[in-house]
């Protein structure tokens, strides 16, 4: 398959060139019906051949999501439910499962709610059970090892895919039968036996979250909980710091690497403030715990000059102490948050290779401009020192 990406105004497209010019029942059925669980699909004829266009605006491939953050068991369960629901919807339109692309690069996820959209390729003919097996092998290595139940679930799902003549119902039974860590019973299990993408799956996830709430969280919903909360709010409290007349809490914007540090008026650099405060004994605090990957990156780059993006419009400068470095507005998924409506949740990624720094547009809605040139979605270009770069309408100078 020949694959490319294209940006048109505020829409991004994944384009697959077709090898044949012939129309088929499945092609027209998929184009004329908005099938739940699949990317919006359109056939466009060019001078040479036909091409399938899939709108991927505001969505990210699964491979990019798990590359940035390890997957959790709840997300794996939701993914399998979405795949099963999409396969069931296909049957209503007499479409075959063999046309689903289950490679991680073609499974698209919306970062804000983890909604899953699959890609229907009319000319693709492959074994659906084998594709699910390869996907489970891929995901087993990307489940968070701290989530024991998620690891057990991923392993059991992989074992199911190794059986002969297994079906999607076998995977669903594995989701809701007792595992080595936990048994899901009662209404949750009954809900899993009659799923659908728009209704039952959403309701089941809400029930699952409510079942996992702590007793004190459930208590807050009652009259007694509201009374206790009101009494607690009425109680006066006060937090003190050493040398309180000189120090104040630093109110930092979202995306700050080390929120909540103490700041002395007149100091410009947070890192200088920390070092000077500790040396003079004016402030006592525990050093922030960086992820292991961040610590390793900082150690490797020790002694080298850190790059930065200097704001052109009076905003905050962005330090780049490690790579890859993600920029967007989705807290928890990016390294620096830009709270602008025009900025996408995952907007751009800065990397460093043998020939210097590069920037990649992460399928953003309003694009990335380097030196005045608008990048195509998912395009990677070099980022020379001194070049101007814009994330939507937010400009920086790369130094």
Assign 3-class secondary structure to 100-150: EECCHHHCEEECCCCEEEEEECCCCCCCHHHHHHHHHHHHHCCECCCCHHH
Least confident segment among 119-128, 132-141, 304-313, 328-337? 304-313
Q: Which domain holds residue 390?
A: 292-398
Closest to 381 (Cα-Cα) out of 354, 345, 357, 346: 357
Residue 286 lies in a domain: no
CB 340 within 8 A of CB 328: no
Rounded-to-integer distance, Cα 349 and Cα 320, Å: 11
- Is residue 230 scored above 60 in pLDDT? no
Mean residue pLDDT across the chain: 76
- Is residue 268 scored above 50 in pLDDT? no
Which of 189, 211, 233 delimits the end of a domain? 233
Residue 284 lies in a domain: no
Is the domain of 35 the same as that of 173?
yes
The model's pLDDT over 168-188, given as tens digits with 9 standing for 90+, comes to 889 999 988 754 444 444 444
- Is residue 200 scored above 80 in pLDDT? no
Q: What's the chain's length in residues?
A: 399
Is the domain of 329 the same as that of 226?
no
Rounded-to-integer distance, Cα 13 and Cα 53, Å: 6
Is the domain of 226 the same as that of 326?
no
- 37, burial (CB in 10 Å: exposed 0-12, middle 13-18, buried 19+): buried
- Is residue 111 scored above 80 in pLDDT? yes
Q: What is the mean pLDDT of residues 155-178?
A: 89
Q: In the structure, what pLDDT confidence band is assigned to residue 194 with cuts at 50, 70 and 90?
A: very low
Q: In the structure, what pLDDT confidence band is assigned to residue 195 with cuts at 50, 70 and 90?
A: very low
What is the model's pLDDT at position 275? 47
- Bond before 34 cis per omega within 30 degrees: no
The number of domains in the chain is 2
Rounded-to-integer distance, Cα 175 and Cα 76, Å: 10
The model's pLDDT over 330-351, given as tens digits with 9 standing for 90+, comes to 888 899 999 999 999 999 999 9
Rounded-to-integer distance, Cα 352 and Cα 122, Å: 38
Is the domain of 67 the same as that of 196?
yes
Q: In the structure, what pLDDT confidence band is assigned to residue 75 with cuts at 50, 70 and 90?
A: very high
Q: What is the mean pLDDT of residues 251-277?
A: 41
- Is residue 42 scored above 80 in pLDDT? yes
Is the domain of 15 the same as that of 152?
yes
Q: At what angle do helices 148-161 and 128-140 cross, to 10 degrees?
A: 150
What is the model's pLDDT at position 332? 83
Residue 22: CATH number of its domain: 1.10.510
Q: Specify the residue for token string 């009101």.
A: 230
Q: At what angle do helices 73-92 and 200-211 cross, to 10 degrees?
A: 160
What is the model's pLDDT at position 68? 78
Which residues on adjacent β-strands are paired with residue 325?
350
Is the domain of 225 the same as that of 299?
no
Residue 257 lies in a domain: no
Q: What is the mean pLDDT of residues 90-108?
A: 93
Is the domain of 192 the same as that of 333?
no
- Is residue 79 scored above 90 in pLDDT? yes
Residue 281 lies in a domain: no
Residue 22 neighbours by CB under 8 Å, 6+ apart: none
Residue 247 lies in a domain: no
Is the domain of 171 the same as that of 303?
no
- Is residue 107 scored above 90 in pLDDT? yes
The model's pLDDT over 7-28, given as tens digits with 9 standing for 90+, comes to 988 899 999 988 877 778 888 8
Task: Tell me what percent of the residues of the chain surpass a pLDDT of 90.
Answer: 46
Say how many Å lie between the first and final Cα of the chain, rounded.
40
Residue 135 lies in a domain: yes
Of the ranges 227-231, 278-282, 295-299, 376-380, which is most confident?
Answer: 376-380
Q: In the structure, what pLDDT confidence band is assigned to residue 1 with cuts at 50, 70 and 90?
A: confident
Which of 195, 217, 233 delimits the end of a domain? 233
CB 392 within 8 A of CB 367: yes
Residue 253 lies in a domain: no
What is the model's pLDDT at position 158? 94
Residue 33 neighbours by CB under 8 Å, 6+ apart: 93
Q: In the structure, what pLDDT confidence band is assigned to residue 313 with cuts at 50, 70 and 90?
A: confident
Is the domain of 314 the same as that of 176?
no
**Collapsing DSSP states into helix, strand and coil, what is residue 170?**
helix
**Collapsing DSSP states into helix, strand and coil, what is residue 218?**
helix
Is the domain of 19 the same as that of 152?
yes
What is the model's pLDDT at position 178? 56
Q: What is the mean pLDDT of residues 355-361?
A: 94
* Predicted model pTM: 0.64
Residue 391: CATH number of its domain: 2.60.200.20
Closest to 74 (Cα-Cα) out of 136, 143, 155, 140: 143
Q: Please give the C-alpha separations between residue 386 and each of 305, 320, 370, in angstroms, as whole numbers.
A: 15, 15, 11
- Is residue 257 scored above 50 in pLDDT? no
Rounded-to-integer distance, Cα 345 and Cα 330, Å: 5
The model's pLDDT over 359-379, given as tens digits with 9 standing for 90+, comes to 999 999 999 999 999 999 899
Q: In the structure, what pLDDT confidence band is assigned to residue 118 with cuts at 50, 70 and 90?
A: very high
Which of 204, 233, 262 delimits the end of a domain? 233
Is the domain of 166 the same as that of 74?
yes
Is the domain of 210 the same as that of 317?
no
Residue 142 lies in a domain: yes
What is the model's pLDDT at position 202? 46
Least confident segment among 49-63, 242-256, 304-318, 340-354? 242-256
What is the model's pLDDT at position 188? 40
260: left (phi over 0), alpha (psi -120 to 50) or beta: left
**Collapsing DSSP states into helix, strand and coil, what is residue 371?**
coil
What is the model's pLDDT at position 2? 86
């Amino acid at each position: 398959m020949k694959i490319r990406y294209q940006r048109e105004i505020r829409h991004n497209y994944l384009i697959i060139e077709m090898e044949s010019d012939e129309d088929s029942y499945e092609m027209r059925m998929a184009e004329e019906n908005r099938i739940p669980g699949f990317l919006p699909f359109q056939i466009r004829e060019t001078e040479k051949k036909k091409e399938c266009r899939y709108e991927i605006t505001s969505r990210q491939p699964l491979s990019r999501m798990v590359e940035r953050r390890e997957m959790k068991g709840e997300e794996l369960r939701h993914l399998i439910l979405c795949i099963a629901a999409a396969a069931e919807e296909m049957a209503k339109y007499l479409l075959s499962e063999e046309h689903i692309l289950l490679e991680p690069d073609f499974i698209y996820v919306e970062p804000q709610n983890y909604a899953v959209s699959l890609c229907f390729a009319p000319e693709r003919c492959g074994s659906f059970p084998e594709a699910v097996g390869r996907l489970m092998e891929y995901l087993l290595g990307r489940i968070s090892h701290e989530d024991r139940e998620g690891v057990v679930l991923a392993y059991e799902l992989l074992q199911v895919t190794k059986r002969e003549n297994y079906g999607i119902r076998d995977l669903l039974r594995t989701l809701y039968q007792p595992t080595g860590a936990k048994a899901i019973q009662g209404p949750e299990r009954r809900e899993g036996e009659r799923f659908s993408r728009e209704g039952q799956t959403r309701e089941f996830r809400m029930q699952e979250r409510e079942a996992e709430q702590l007793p004190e969280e459930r208590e807050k919903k009652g009259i007694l909980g509201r009374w206790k909360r009101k009494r607690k709010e009425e109680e006066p409290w006060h937090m003190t710091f050493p040398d309180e007349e000189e120090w104040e809490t630093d109110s930092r914007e979202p995306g700050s690497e080390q929120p909540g540090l103490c700041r002395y008026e007149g100091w410009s650099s947070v890192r200088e403030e920390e070092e000077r405060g500790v040396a003079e004994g004016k402030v006592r605090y525990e050093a922030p715990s960086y992820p292991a990957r961040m610590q390793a990156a900082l150690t490797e780059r020790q002694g080298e000059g850190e790059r930065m993006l200097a704001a052109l419009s009076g905003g905050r400068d962005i330090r780049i102490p490690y790579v890859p470095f993600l920029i967007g507005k989705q807290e928890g998924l990016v390294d620096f948050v830009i709270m602008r409506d025009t900025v996408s949740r995952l907007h751009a990624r800065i990397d460093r290779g043998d020939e210097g720094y590069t920037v990649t547009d992460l399928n953003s809605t309003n694009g990335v401009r380097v030196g005045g040139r608008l990048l195509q979605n998912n395009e990677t270009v070099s980022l020379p020192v001194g070049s101007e770069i814009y994330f939507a309408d937010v400009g920086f100078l790369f130094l």
